[in-house]
Structure 1
């Protein structure tokens, strides 16, 4: 039914250049909204502004909660946990209120892996032609949906993305602070996903956001460059959203210096002209390096007793720091709090910026260039019941284990290709008191006896009534299996027989292949990008996106 695993990157569709100039009909401009969040109060405000918009409503709103997963309880292969009470959870409450107001809202959890991973978990669940990414601290004015629909309907077929116009309200009656001015810079930033629509086909072409960008910084620029490299055009639209300045503590600007490591990754991926292509400002890193050198010279000279040299170097450090601080203080309100904050952070920012730059150089400028995104598959995860062995409900008897046709041969091919293997299985019978963990372990041992050893076995004993972060379709088990195998989730492919398997894989950032059985619901098949008829066929897809070297040799 599909040519490749969900999350795989197919080639650029042939004939796209021949479609230039042909407009998409307004009726076909169906869209979903994807909102990554970490439980901030702005989510409820955003969803409120989305309710009752004039113009075509989104087919669905996918809210992706990227707060870290509770570590839970690990007891050998068993992995159990419990989410917070939904009534007390800000994401659950905001989504429930939006549903009551008439929005179709889906809440997905991505396990605290960063904004890029959260957006991937969201768009991969959507099936509309357009995906609109909106940040959880954005507010949508009346008429946003109508203007968005007009922008999308007016797009020629070679347009892969449409950027919205962002307005940052600044305080009236006083000059803006350094933090407020920095936020206002978003108004002129290129291709930021605070309000950006992408054609789903373009996202599939490039594999979505590169999850090696761990923060909400540069991941959108990287995506824009890769989408353009794949042959799509990006344009600026007329739909407008509002991004209020959110509160920040004294050290917020100091923490932002972690982005210097991401700048190194951008350079490694896109070459020295990436800033020009991404329309990104150069920044003050060279001056920060000089400031750090002056400070280090002061300490070195003082330690060796060269007082005059130390005094000269100290004067240089003080002058550079004072100049940096004044450049930030002068345009602002010059209040006592603002001056104190600027003096503190102006001393901290140069060494932090240089440190994070060096950290990025060590991470991304070593031997070889960073691989393109997405990475090849290095591990295959298998659902157990219905995928590897015939499904016997709440089976605690090893004698009832019967592998599905071709399972042993398929697993032998995966292992021969050098790929790691793991089982990830829901075992709700334990939570319901119908099984013991000893029985589950005995059945798993019998599976390994018949099909060979797995590099990791993970199962969740939580029952369906317990809000567990590990029970599929939640991503916890997939993330844990990847951790135990020593790979990233993006390097995993999960083969399962029901929609919960696919949803868990996509939420965790893994690829997924569905092998339906008579128990698989038709809507699960329809919603899955990669569907095949047998386990050996699913393995064929896994090997197709594995590293070529591994297909001819053993595991590293």
Structure 2
């Protein structure tokens, strides 16, 4: 019997998503079907009124059967993948990027890969094939994309055992881009004694169109290199299999350029002393900068289109311009990352996941007895032990908050003033809260804050100045747990008589009482 698996696809709405889903549909007719296909919509939530919602995600004309979507609000691919795998319960989770295409026998090959994986194997990578033009040498952009073919543990097609992901709490969401987060995860899994293997399956990864400054914008990944350095030490490239970079050359180039510019300005100043020596230094630094920059440009141009090839002139101009800009961008981003992860955090970065710093409670059914559509403060009755639990959390230095759906406002059953009065009575009985987030919308509003959407939890984390993963959501129904999953927070379900059986079985952590929930944080 083939191992059970789900597919998770993070996306920002690229048009290539439709082609991927169509190719998955074709592949599912040849091999075992996935139990779930989760497309994680990571487009940022719209600014403006809280009732606004994103336009529906375009899944294409012929998507794979059973696909469902999950919104995460633009927190990056690491957070999107985490939300996806935490929402499924299969033995394996196959991650695919939204700009790949699977061949027709992909599901067959995946099943063989998973069946061959021993009990200590935590992940199996698929091969990535990048089609390149045959009529001319590849451009710099095409060669950079082709680098995925030799990348270790790239999440463009990577299947992980769910138990392995649980062991290390998934991807580190402090990596905001699709860069280095997969290498970090692989390093942590191997450090936890999980094995990683290469499989027989493959996907095709076409080269996406990109602007002329794409290679300059890509230098933002140097900030993520600083995080890897902070997490894994000076040998992080060996630990993560990242390979050698050009940062030392970029530092030398940028330093020469800055020295030449500064020396030139000083030599031109009437008040400057020893202008001859300064001018000589500036000239030498300028020559070094010009030589390093020209060498960098030649290195990038040599394997690319040559004179007479299609697009040669455009590539020449692009390489000349970006070779000037890249060293300065690389050094600036690396310095920014080093400042953020070293200086701001006192010289050390806590491992993933960081400890819990805040506990966010559902209101009705969790902190107080559930009285449907209650607008009367006199009907507020705390659940047994609620005040004691909250006071203990406050005494331990944890922040506490409320995240509450109040659709009675949107349905016109209660006024905002009535709900405010009930909330105020809860505060009188249970003490102060560090944040109080409320969704007033009805389900028909399709807002981004009504649980199980992540908006309330994300707003609470932002108000408290903590990461979502540093929060635990405590609630009594599946919507509370769903909001935690979508936002990246931890969760504890405290069931009541209204909790459905399927919600109970799907919850990752269950406690019988609020007192027990606190012990499971």
What TM-score results when the alignment is normalised by the length of structure 2? 0.94
Secondary structure of 1:333's partner? coil
Report the Cα offset of residue 400 of structure 1.
0.9
Partner of 1:168: 130
Residue 70 of structure 1 contacts residue 81 of structure 1 at CA under 8 Å; is this kept in 2? no
Partner of 1:138: 100
Residue 46 of structure 2 contacts residue 54 of structure 2 at CA under 8 Å; is this kept in 1? no
Say if 2:10 is the partner of 1:36: yes
Partner of 1:468: 447
Query: Which residue of 38, 44, 47 maps to 1:68?
Result: 44
Secondary structure of 1:51's partner? helix
Query: Which residue of 305, 309, 317 maps to 1:340?
Result: 317
Secondary structure of 1:52's partner? helix
Report the Cα offset of residue 345 of structure 1.
0.7
Partner of 2:273: none
Report the Cα offset of residue 365 of structure 1.
2.6
Equivalent-residue separation in structure 1 for 2:317 and 2:296 (angstroms): 14
Secondary structure of 2:444's partner? coil
Partner of 1:362: 339
Report the Cα offset of residue 313 of structure 1.
1.7
Query: Which residue of 108, 113, 116 maps to 2:78?
Result: 116
Query: Which residue of 4, 21, 25 maps to 1:47?
Result: 21
Query: Which residue of 433, 442, 446 maps to 1:454?
Result: 433
CA 1:379–1:206 in structure 2 vs 1: closer, same or farther (change >3 Å)?
Answer: same
Report the Cα offset of residue 28 of structure 1.
5.0
Equivalent-residue separation in structure 1 for 2:169 and 2:377 (angstroms): 41
Report the Cα offset of residue 396 of structure 1.
1.1
Partner of 2:286: 314
Equivalent-residue separation in structure 1 for 2:379 and 2:105 (angstroms): 61
Say if 2:168 is the partner of 1:206: yes
Partner of 1:82: 52
Secondary structure of 2:260's partner? helix
Structure 1: any 5+ residue segments left out of the alignment?
A: 1-26, 74-79, 543-556
Structure 2: any 5+ residue segments left out of the alignment?
A: 268-277, 307-311
Report the Cα offset of residue 72 of structure 1.
4.0
Superposition map of 1:89-128 within 5 A: 89-90=57-58, 93-94=59-60, 97-98=62-63, 103-128=65-90
Secondary structure of 1:304's partner? helix
Greater RCO structure (CA 8 Å; 6+ sep):
1
Residue 45 of structure 2 contacts residue 54 of structure 2 at CA under 8 Å; is this kept in 1? no
Secondary structure of 1:365's partner? helix
Partner of 1:253: 215
Report the Cα offset of residue 204 of structure 1.
0.3
Equivalent-residue separation in structure 2 for 1:37 and 1:64 (angstroms): 6
Report the Cα offset of residue 330 of structure 1.
1.8
Residue 141 of structure 1 contacts residue 241 of structure 1 at CA under 8 Å; is this kept in 2? yes
Equivalent-residue separation in structure 1 for 2:193 and 2:167 (angstroms): 10
Equivalent-residue separation in structure 2 for 1:49 and 1:310 (angstroms): 58
Superposition map of 1:128-277 within 5 A: 128-277=90-239
Equivalent-residue separation in structure 2 for 1:84 and 1:52 (angstroms): 29
Equivalent-residue separation in structure 2 for 1:200 and 1:28 (angstroms): 15
Say if 2:350 is the partner of 1:371: yes
Partner of 1:548: none
Report the Cα offset of residue 375 of structure 1.
0.7
Equivalent-residue separation in structure 2 for 1:524 and 1:398 (angstroms): 30
Report the Cα offset of residue 97 of structure 1.
4.6
Equivalent-residue separation in structure 1 for 2:52 and 2:367 (angstroms): 28
Superposition map of 1:517-532 within 5 A: 517-532=496-511
Equivalent-residue separation in structure 2 for 1:397 and 1:336 (angstroms): 74
- Please give the root-mean-square deviation of Cα atoms over the aligned residues, in Å: 1.2
Residue 222 of structure 1 contacts residue 266 of structure 1 at CA under 8 Å; is this kept in 2? yes
Secondary structure of 1:187's partner? helix
Equivalent-residue separation in structure 2 for 1:200 and 1:343 (angstroms): 46
Equivalent-residue separation in structure 2 for 1:210 and 1:516 (angstroms): 30
Equivalent-residue separation in structure 2 for 1:297 and 1:376 (angstroms): 44
Partner of 2:274: none
Superposition map of 1:399-478 within 5 A: 399-478=378-457
Report the Cα offset of residue 121 of structure 1.
0.6
Equivalent-residue separation in structure 2 for 1:72 and 1:507 (angstroms): 21
1:112-131 deviation per Cα after TM superposition (whole angstroms, max 9, x unaligned): 11111111011000100001
Report the Cα offset of residue 43 of structure 1.
1.0
What TM-score results when the alignment is normalised by the length of structure 1? 0.89
Report the Cα offset of residue 537 of structure 1.
1.3
Partner of 2:263: 301
Report the Cα offset of residue 140 of structure 1.
0.2
Partner of 1:323: 295
Report the Cα offset of residue 358 of structure 1.
1.0
Residue 140 of structure 2 contacts residue 300 of structure 2 at CA under 8 Å; is this kept in 1? yes
Equivalent-residue separation in structure 1 for 2:335 and 2:139 (angstroms): 29
Equivalent-residue separation in structure 2 for 1:499 and 1:345 (angstroms): 50
Equivalent-residue separation in structure 1 for 2:107 and 2:15 (angstroms): 22
Number of positions where the alignment pairs a residue of Structure 1 with one of Structure 2: 502
Report the Cα offset of residue 264 of structure 1.
1.6
